[in-house]
Amino acid sequence: MMGAQTAVVDEAGFAADARMERMDRVAVLYAEITAASREFLRALAESDRLRDWAEEGFAGCADWLAWRLGITRHTATEKVRVARALESLPLISGAMARGELSFSKVRALTRVATEESEAELLAFARAESAASVERMVAGWQTLDRAGEESAERLRHRMRRLSIFSDGEGMYVVRGLVTPEVAAVLMKAIDAAGDALFAATAMDDRPEPAQRRADALGLVAERALAAGLATEDAPVSGSRAERYQVMVHVERESLSETGEPERGEQRMCELGDGTRVPAGTARRLACDASAVEMTKDTHGSILAVGRRTRIVSARLRRALEVRDRGCRFPGCGLRYTDAHHIVHWADGGETSLKNTLLLCRHHHRHVHEGGWRVASDTDGQAVFFSPHGRAFAAAPPMPLTDADALLRRNRERGVEPDWRTGLPPAA
């Protein structure tokens, strides 16, 4: 009888040991992944700092990362933010590098941590759950109540805004606004960012500040189009029409080979007479309203046609259902222009097959940045950089395995065990 009881007890003990071994393996492997994730974030921060993504034609590091890793842009943006923050937080960085602090906790801490506060925050994060860390970060403050009220009064008195010319063709916008005004303004810029985000960059290497300036312009355009003008202001047509940008262009300038020789006069200008390149006119004409005018040899207008919409509302709806945003790899922004793969001025159809949606940034890439887009036999868009490199919608992921991950961690001196990541014993 004793032998049978011992056998039963041993089997139960073996089952418990096996269960613990399986659970420990889960925890240890996650710690290994966490340690490797710190190396990933370090590499990401370096690549971002050197602006590697700009050479590939992407508007920002998060855009490139989302495309390259096959993740959402929100997730990519968070990873870029954390990677940047960890560069100045050595204690939190070290804890993550050893697999002791999960990415969830690190993500929360990097929202508020400074070199002075990270030791205190790290001690709290080691002992508490990720949910507790998130709650703590949400309520983190640096002043007492009286100090906050005094600071708020000072902020209110300091509010101001000015816009003035820099004397060289640009305007300087400078100001200080209260937190609640800033919250509304940033919410509007965030909304424009969801729609535009990097869409109207001023050059091939747009910086975040430049992208925010473009988003602010979109906010202003939408506010005016919505009717902020006073009721007694003289208007012609709707308020939206009053603020439209008009381009006067000859049909020949819209064709791919229609740029005139140097010194040749051919109309391609804004309403105030400012010359615009043919590529810019082609981009604007992709998705616009057109009014055709007939002139005599002396430039006098003989006839004015009806205004027609290049891309009809029906086609636009179909494009939005199919594309769900900008088709450039890794982008997906929702505020877009309809782009003709073969421009209508070159005989291309204004059809679902020959059009796709591009955000303003990538639309500019195609028309003025040397990029090309074509449709393959399956109807998928393929983009080609100015150097001829093809960009597909989703690149292949590099091959790896768990053993290789473990070896790299060991080479860095990282060797987590079942205790790694647990709160310290009381």
Q: Are 27 and 85 in contact (CB under 8 A)?
A: no
Residue 406 in domain = no
Of the residues 252, 280, 309, the one at which a domain ends: 309
Number of domains observed in the structure of the chain: 4
pLDDT at 54 over 90: no
Rounded to whole angstroms, how far apart are CA atoms 368 and 385?
A: 12
Of the residues 255, 275, 309, the one at which a domain ends: 309
Which of 196-210, 389-403, 405-419 is predicted with the least confidence, judged by mean pLDDT?
196-210
Residue 426 in domain = no
Give the pTM.
Answer: 0.57
Average pLDDT over residues 98-106: 89
**Tokens for 7?**
């056998």
CATH number at residue 68: 1.10.10.2830
Q: Do residues 216 and 278 share a domain?
A: no
Q: Domain containing 331: what range? A: 313-391
Residue 417 in domain = no
Q: Do residues 49 and 125 share a domain?
A: yes
Q: Do residues 137 and 39 share a domain?
A: yes
pLDDT of residue 421: 62
Please list, in sequence order, all residues whose beta carbon lies within 8 angstroms of the beta carbon of residue 394, skipping any fewer than 6 positions away: 67, 70, 329
Convert the pLDDT of each residue in 67-80 to its tens digit: 888 888 888 999 99
Please list, in sequence order, all residues whose beta carbon lies within 8 angstroms of the beta carbon of residue 170, skipping any fewer than 6 positions away: none
Residue 412 in domain = no
Q: What angle do CA 254, 256, 262 make, to 5 degrees?
A: 80
Residue 232 in domain = no
Q: Are 332 and 326 in contact (CB under 8 A)?
A: yes
Q: Do residues 19 and 118 share a domain?
A: yes
Average pLDDT over residues 116-123: 90
Q: Do residues 155 and 110 share a domain?
A: no
pLDDT at 353 over 80: yes
Which residue is listed with tokens 């050059």?
203
Q: Do residues 181 and 219 share a domain?
A: yes
Q: Do residues 120 and 195 share a domain?
A: no
Residue 96 in domain = yes
pLDDT of residue 339: 92
